[in-house]
Amino acid sequence: MLFRKEIVIGLPIIVILLSVFGAYLYLPKNADKRSVKIGVVLPLSGDFETYGRYGVQGAKMAVDEINKAGGVLNGRRLELIIEDNKTDPNIAVKQIRKLIQEDDVIAVMGPVSSSARDAMTKVARQFKTPLLYGISYEGNRYDRYLFCYSPIPDHVITPLVPFMAKNYGPSFYIFGYDYVWPHEMAEAIKREVKKSKCEISGVEFTPFGIKDFSSSLKKIRESGADVLMLILPGPDGFSFIRQFNKAGMRKHVKIVAIAAEETYLHALPPEELEGIIANVHFLSSLESKEAKSFVARQKKMFGDNTIVTYSTESHYGLIMLLQKAIEKVGTIDKEKIIDAMENLTITVGNGPVTMRKDHHMNLNMIISEFTAGKLIAKKNIGLVIPGNQKK
């Protein structure tokens, strides 16, 4: 009796196990529904927090849109694991190691500063994981594991110097932070100034955290420069612009703020920004269909008062390039994804752009100007194809 009872009880269990096993045999090839994780190491505090904050907004919207459309690989969701590196390269290195070794991400997005990027690239190479970089930088950094959706000197400086010389005068003064990116941008400016048969009237670099720029302003005024190439983004740059205006220098010198974007509009009143020139690959004020759509979707997700910048657009674009590569190869094998990202073209906020074999972008650039409380297009340069960054 006991034996028969055991058989009766055991039969349903056997049937269930066989059903489960049978279902497993007929699962589609990509039926693993675990999320595909992407790490983010960006400054959400510190000197460059605005670039990080609005970059994260771009990445979040891309992931949200991809997941709502069905995810990747027959239904796997993308998941962002976000870390704040506090604008500190040492923290950034620890975070990328943690994301790769503990969180098992297939790629890492970030950072902002050049020193953090160079340090993180070494880790990305060590663990053979793509590093997705979306900030303006000095160029000439090629690595198999680094992908740059970034304006570099060929995009920014090469068209800008002759434009400024023609419209504002031939004498240039360079003033920037004392670290890698401003130094290398300064060298690019010098090369283009020489090509344009203009002159450099002065070069100066300053530490972070300077409160009083009066001595530097005096040097700029006495140099007789027509154009000031300001490589000082973030709070120090805002402070410099305030003091520049207070010193009455706007009528004497035209400012070009390298890497300036729409966050400046929330940091300074319109009258203090009036006339400052920038050169970027995306403006939230663009009238094109894709730009209007991109800005509208950002505002729907993050509120009507949100800021939409080139950093927002580039970080969104990097996620879209990654998604397109995953679908192209049908796997999350990192090496195959890296190969597939090369030569991909997408349209995000300002026309078609392409990730090249040297892991840099062909970008549509716009010389723009702060005018009446907006950053608006002054000259649409169009598609800029930089030199081969592998060299």
Using alpha carbons only, what angle is made at residue 321 by residues 388 and 37, rounded to the nearest 5 degrees? 125
Position 32 confidence tier, pLDDT thresholds 50, 70, 90: low
Q: Structurally, how many domains does the chain consist of?
A: 2
Q: What are the C-alpha distances in Å from 58 to residues 53, 168, 297, 315, 318? A: 9, 35, 10, 5, 9
Q: Which of 6-15, 149-158, 190-199, 340-349 has the lowest mean pLDDT?
A: 6-15
What is the predicted pLDDT for the residue at 30?
41
pLDDT tens figures, 217-236:
999 999 999 999 999 998 99
Residue 4 within a domain: no
CA-based end-to-end distance of the chain = 84
Round to whole Å and give the CA distance between 389 and 391.
5
Tokens of 83: 């870390």
Residues 144 and 291 both lie in one domain: yes
pLDDT tens for each residue of 90-142: 999 999 999 999 999 999 999 999 999 999 999 999 999 999 999 999 999 99
379 within some domain = no
Q: Identify the domain containing residue 351 by its residue range.
A: 36-151+285-362
Using the 8-state DSSP alphabet, how is residue 76 labeled? B
Residues 136-164 have pLDDT tens digits of 999 999 999 999 999 999 999 999 999 99
State residue 212 phi and psi, 5-degree precision.
-120, 115
Q: How confident is the model at residue 174 (pLDDT cuts 50, 70, 90)?
A: very high
Does residue 368 belong to any structural domain of this protein? Answer: no
pTM of the model: 0.89
Please indicate, yes or no, whether residues 145 and 293 belong to a single structural domain of this protein: yes
Rounded Cα gap, residues 224 and 26, in angstroms: 77
Residues 158 and 305 in one domain: no
β-strands 146-148, 199-206 pairing: unpaired
What average pLDDT does this structure show over 185-205? 97
Average pLDDT, the chain: 92
